[in-house]
Structure 1
Amino acid sequence: MNFLGEAYLLETDTACELYDVIAESPILDPHSHADVVEIVENDGWNDVWEVEAATDHYVWAAMRKRGVDEELITGDAPNREKWNALATVFPEFAGNPTYEWIHLDLKRRFGIETPISAETADEIWQETKRQLQRIDMQPQELLREMDVEVICSTDDPTSKLEYHERAVDEVSGVDIRPTWRADRAVNIETPPWNDFVDELADSTGTATDDFDGFLDALATTHDFFQEHGCRASDLGIHEPVSRPVSKTRARTIYRKEREGRSLSEREIGDFKAFMLEYIGELNVENGWVTQLHIGPLRDYRTKLYERIGSASGGTVSTQRIEIAENIRHFMNVFDEECEIVLYCVDPTQYPTITTISRAFPNVSVGAAWWFNDSSFGMEHQLDYMGSVDLLANHAGMVSDSRKLLSYGSRFEMFRRSLANVVGNHVERGRIPIEVAHDLVEHIAYDRPKKLFGF
C-alpha cells in the first residue's frame, strides 16, 4: 500500500466507498484550542516549524524521547535549527500518529509527498517557506480551503472575547465560537484560584468578596459568552466529585480559602461538587452542552513543568480514579436536563463512560481523546462504544488542537477510521451498505451539528 495513498487506513473496498461519502463533509469542531488572535490577524507564518511544531506538545514529547535537546524544542534556538533537529529524528516517529499527521499536512496543504528526514529537511524547509508567503496560505484562507464550517475555541470565563467579536466581521465563511472553560473557577486547591477570583471581579465589575458575588459574576460571564454564540462549557477534571452540597457549606469553604486558611480534602471536594452542579444549572438555563474531560494527571514530570509550564508534554494517564460513583449524583440531577459529553483519557475507562451514556439519553461519548486520538485509538473506541451504546449516539470528532493545519489531518484520520470500522461491519454482514452510508454521514456531520446546536 502506498504511504498515505487513497486507501490509507481503509482495509476494504467498502471502507473506501464509505470514506468517499464523508471525505468532503464540512468540518465541525466543537472542541479546539484555536488561536483566535492568529486567525483574525491573518498574518500567517514564516516557516514550517511555526506551522507544525511551535505549539504542538505531541511533537515535543516525541523529540525528547529521541534525545533532542530542549533548546531545540522549546528553547531559544532558531526555528531552522529546530526544524533540522525534528527532521533528523522524524523517521523514528514512524508508527506514532504524529508521523502521519504532519505528513498529511504537507501532502494536503503543500502538495509535498517527500518523507521528512535529515536528507529532505532543507528541501521541505525551502518549499514550505516559499508557499507560506502566498495569500492562500494565510489562516483564514486555509480554514476555508479545509472547509471548516464551525470551530470552537477554549476560553477563560474572564475573557473579553474581543477577537471573537472581530471574527464576526472580519472572518468570512467560518463560524468561530467561544467555549466557556471553567477549570480555574472550580480548582480551589490551586494557588491561581484566588487570582482568578480577583480577575473575575475586575472583568465583570461584580464584587467577589462574598460567595454570592462570586456566583453572580460567573453567571454574568456565562451570559456574556451566550451573547457571543457559545454553545458549550468545558471542564477538565482529574477525578470527578459529585454529591449534594449545600450553598451554606460551599460559602463557608469559599470564605475560608479567601482568608488564606488551609482546606481539608473533604472541603476541596465539597466545593468542587457544588461548583460542578452550579455549572450544570447555568448550562441548563442557556441550553449549552456540558463537556467533561476526565482523567489526566497533569504536569506529572516536575522538571518539565518547572521549566516550561503546563501543556508541555508531561501529562500522564492513570486507571486509578473513580468515575461511576463519583459522577452519579450529577448525572441524576441533570437526567434529560441538558446534553452532556464525556471524554476520558484512559481507554480502560471506556466501559464506564459508555455504560453511563447507555443509561442516560442525554449523555454522549466524546471523541477518543489525547493519547487515544490515533487510528488505533479511534477504531478501538468506536468498536467498543458501538457494541455497548449506539454508534449513532457518538458525539463526533474534535481536533483538541492548538495547530490550525492539524484540523484537516485529524478529521481525515477520524473519518477514515470511522469508514473502516463501519466498513468492517458491512463486510461481516452486520449492516446493510445503505444504512452504513447514512451512519457515517450522521456521525461525521449531522450528529455534532444537532448536538451542539450549530
Structure 2
Amino acid sequence: MKKFLDNNFLLRTQTAQDLYHQVAKHYPIIDYHNHLMPQQVAENSSFENITQVWLNGDHYKWRAMRTNGVAEKYITGDATDKEKFLKWAETVPYTLRNPLYHWTHLELQRYFGINDLLSPKTAKKIYEETASKLQTSAFSVHGLLERMNVEVICTTDDPTDSLEYHQQFAQQQARFKMLPAFRPDKAMQVDKIGAFNQYVSLLESVTNTSIDNITDYLDALKQRHDFFAANGCKVSDHGLEHIYAEDYTDQEIADIFDKIRQNQDISLLENHQFKSAMLVYFAQWDHEKGWVQQYHLGALRNNNSRMHRLIGPDTGWDSMGDFSQARALSKFLNRLDKNDQLTKTIIYNLNPADNELIATMVGNFNDGSIAGKVQFGSAWWFLDQKDGMTKQINTLSNMGLLSRLVGMLTDSRSFLSFPRHEYFRRLLCDILGEDVEQGELPNDVEWIGKIVSDICYHNAKNYFNF
C-alpha cells in the first residue's frame, strides 16, 4: 500500500516518476491567470494566521463547509479567524475524494512542511504553527511566491483600475514579475442599465473625458487598453456564459448605446448585439498589440438569489451551465479571422460535455502562423481536479496537439494555491508515463521529457512573450 501524498503521489509508473522528478518539477511557474490582489503583492503583505491567507475569499472551501452543515457565521460571517479555521478543520475529513482534500494537504506540506492530516485533533496545533510561520518575513507574500518558484503572475484587472500597485511593484527588485490582465466584462454588461451607466460615469472620471456617444465610449476604453499595455499588460480575459456573435451595424450599436444612456430598456436582441460588438472591438485591439485573449466559457453564476443578495457575487453560488457554444464561437472566431484580426486565443471550457466541441473548434483557426495560436485551455474551476484535468488532457491529445498546450494556471485568489501547478504536472507525467509503459508511446524519454518541459514552462514563456 502506497503512503498518502508521498514523493510519488499520482505517479503510478517508473517512467512517470522519472519524468516528474527529473524534468517537470524543476521548472518555474508562469501563472498567467489568477485573481490575486495586486496591493498585497506590491506591499509584500504578511498574514496573521492561515485563515487570512487560506480561507478568506476561497469559495471552493466555503461551498464544502456549507455542504457539511457549517453556519455562514463561520464562513463569511463575524466569527473569529480561529473559529473559522476550526470549522474548516472539522470539514476536511469529510472532503475525501474531493480535490480539496488533496489541495489542503499538499499546501500544508509544500508551504509549511506539515505532514499531519488536518482534522479537529490536529487543528489547534496546525493553526498555531502556521500562524507563527506566517508572521515571519519568509512567509510574506513574496516569500510564499518565491517558495513555489513563481516567475510570472498575471492578475485580473478592470479597465478602470489605476494599476497603481502594478506600477509600485515594477519599481521593486523582486524575483518574479506581476503583470496586469485586461478584464472588460463590466464594460459590456448591459443587463442592468443603471449599473452600466454608473460604470460609464466611472470610466469618464478615470479617463477625464465626457462620454456622450458610442465613439466617446470606445475612445475611452481604448485609452485604458493603451494604458494597460504601457504598464506591461499582454493578456486580456473574458468571463462569459457563451460567446456573443449577433449580426449588427455600427449605427445599430450607436443607437443602442444612446438608448442605454437615456435609461431606456433594450431588447434581448439589442443586448446581444451590443455585447457582440464589444467583443469584436476588444479582440481587434488585442490583435493590434499582439496580446493573448482568453475566454472562460460556461459558468452559470449567482444561482442562489437570496444568498447573492445577502453576501454578494463570487461567494460560492455558481455552477456549470449547459449553454450552446459551437455556432456563436465559430461565427465570432471566423469574423475576426477573415479580417486577419484574430490574435492568439485560449478558450477555457467549464462543462466537460463541451470538451470535444472546443478541442475541435480551435483547430479550425490554427493557420500555421504561430504554434498553438488558438488553444483549448487547461481545465478550470470545477474541472481543475484529477478527473477534469485528465479529461482535458485526453481530449486535447486526441483532437489537437497536447504538446503545444501552454500549461496550467491557478485562477485563484489565494497565495497558497500554487501547488495546483504541481498537481497538473504530476498528472501530465503520469498519463505520458503510463502510455510509455503500456507501449502506446515509444520509450524515448528524452523527447517526451522535452514535451513535458514545454508544456510546463517553455510553451507559456514563448506564447505570452514574458
TM-score category (smaller protein): over 0.9
Q: CA deviation at 1:323?
A: 1.2
Do structure 1's residue 243 and structure 2's residue 255 form an aligned pair? no
Deviation of the 1:302 alpha carbon? 1.4
* 1-structure distance, mates of 2:173, 2:358: 37
Q: Deviations over 1:156-201 (max 9, x none)?
A: 0001100000111125111100000010011111342111111111
Distance 2:199 2:378 in 1: 30
Q: TM-score, normalised by structure 2?
A: 0.95
- Which residue of structure 1 aligns with residue 362 of structure 2? 357
Tell me, yes or no, if the aligned pair for 1:135 and 1:141 is still in contact at 8 Å: yes
The residue number in structure 2 matching 1:138 is: 140
Aligned to 1:416: 426
Residue in structure 1 matched with residue 196 of structure 2 by the alignment: 193
Secondary structure at 1:39 match in 2: helix
Looking at structure 1, the residues matched to 332 and 39 of structure 2 have their Cα atoms a distance apart, in angstroms, of 35
Contact 1:38–1:139, Cα closer than 8 Å, also in 2: yes
TM-score by length of 1: 0.97
Counterpart of 2:364 in structure 1: which amino acid? A
Q: Deviations over 1:9-29 (max 9, x none)?
A: 111111111112110210001
Aligned-residue offset at 1:259 = 0.6
The equivalent of 1:106 in structure 2 is 108
Counterpart CA distance in 2 for 1:372 and 1:298 is 16
Q: Is the 8 A contact 2:348 2:377 kept in 1?
A: yes
1:383 to 388, 394, 401: 394
2:416 aligned with 1:405: yes
| Contact persistence 2:158–2:184 (CA under 8 A) | yes
Return the alpha-carbon distance in structure 1 between the equivalents of residues 127 and 44 of structure 2: 21
Cα offsets for 1:260-310 (capped at 9, x unmatched): 111111000100111111111110111111101111010011122111111
Find the counterpart in structure 2 of residue 12 from structure 1. 13
Q: Which amino acid aligns with 1:338?
A: T
Alpha-carbon contact 1:240-1:322 (below 8 Å) kept: no
1:435 to 442, 447, 458: 447
Q: 1:297 is matched with which residue?
A: 300
5+ residue gaps, structure 1 = none
Q: How does 1:257-272 map to 2 (within 5 A)?
A: 257-272=260-275
The one of 435, 443, 450 equivalent to 1:425 is 435
The residue type paired with residue 109 of structure 1 is Y
- List structure 1 runs of 4+ shifted beyond 6 angstroms: none
User: Does structure 1 conserve the Cα–Cα contact (< 8 Å) formed by 2:240 and 2:295?
Assistant: yes
- Maintained 8 Å contact 1:357/1:364: yes
CA separation in 2, counterparts of 1:306 and 1:189?
Answer: 17
The 5 A counterparts of 1:300-319 are 300-319=303-322
Question: For 2:236, what is the secondary structure of its paired residue?
Answer: strand
Shift of 1:88: 1.3
Alignment of 1:145-294 (within 5 A): 145-190=147-192, 191-294=194-297
The 5 A counterparts of 1:57-76 are 57-76=59-78
Contact 1:59-1:98 at 8 Å conserved across structures: yes
Secondary structure of the residue that 1:401 maps to in structure 2?
coil
1:39-50 to 2 correspondences below 5 Å: 39-50=41-52
Equivalences for residues 366-381 of structure 1 within 5 A: 366-381=377-392
2:299 counterpart SS class: coil
Q: CA deviation at 1:428?
A: 2.5
Show the counterpart of 2:131.
129
CA distance in 2, matches of 1:59, 1:146: 22
Amino acid at match of 1:378: M
- Indicate the SS of the match to 1:334: helix
SS where residue 6 of structure 1 aligns? coil
Q: Displacement, 1:421? A: 1.5
Q: Distance in 1 between matches of 2:8 and 2:248?
A: 54
Distance 1:384 1:424 in 2: 17
Show CA shifts across 1:378-428 (max 9, x none).
111101111111102323111100001112x11111111111121122122
**RMSD of aligned alpha carbons:** 1.2
Post-superposition shift, 1:448?
Answer: 1.2
Instruction: State the Cα distance separating 1:316 from its structure 2 match.
Output: 1.1
Kindly state the Cα deviation for residue 203 of structure 1 after the two structures are TM-superposed. 0.5
What amino acid does structure 2 have at the position aligned with 1:358? G
Please point out which of 339, 342, 346 is paired with 1:341. 346
> Does structure 1 conserve the Cα–Cα contact (< 8 Å) formed by 2:57 and 2:315?
no
* SS, match of residue 31 in structure 1: coil
2-structure distance, mates of 1:276, 1:42: 35
CA contact (8 A) 1:206 1:216 kept: no
Contact 1:356 1:363 in 2 (8 A): no
Number of matched pairs: 452
Q: Could you say which residue in structure 2 is the equivalent of 1:393?
A: 404
Residue 318 of structure 1 and its aligned partner are, at CA, apart by: 2.1
Secondary structure of 2:346's partner?
A: strand
Q: Deviations over 1:96-147 (max 9, x none)?
A: 1111112111111111100000111111011111111211011112212211
* 1:243-262 Cα shifts (integer Å, max 9, x gaps): 33221111111111111111
Q: SS of the residue aligned with 1:364?
A: strand
Aligned counterparts of 1:192 and 1:86: Cα–Cα separation in 2: 36
Q: Read off the aligned partner of 1:16 and give its amino acid letter.
A: Q
Aligned residues of 1:184 and 1:192 also touching (Cα < 8 A) = no
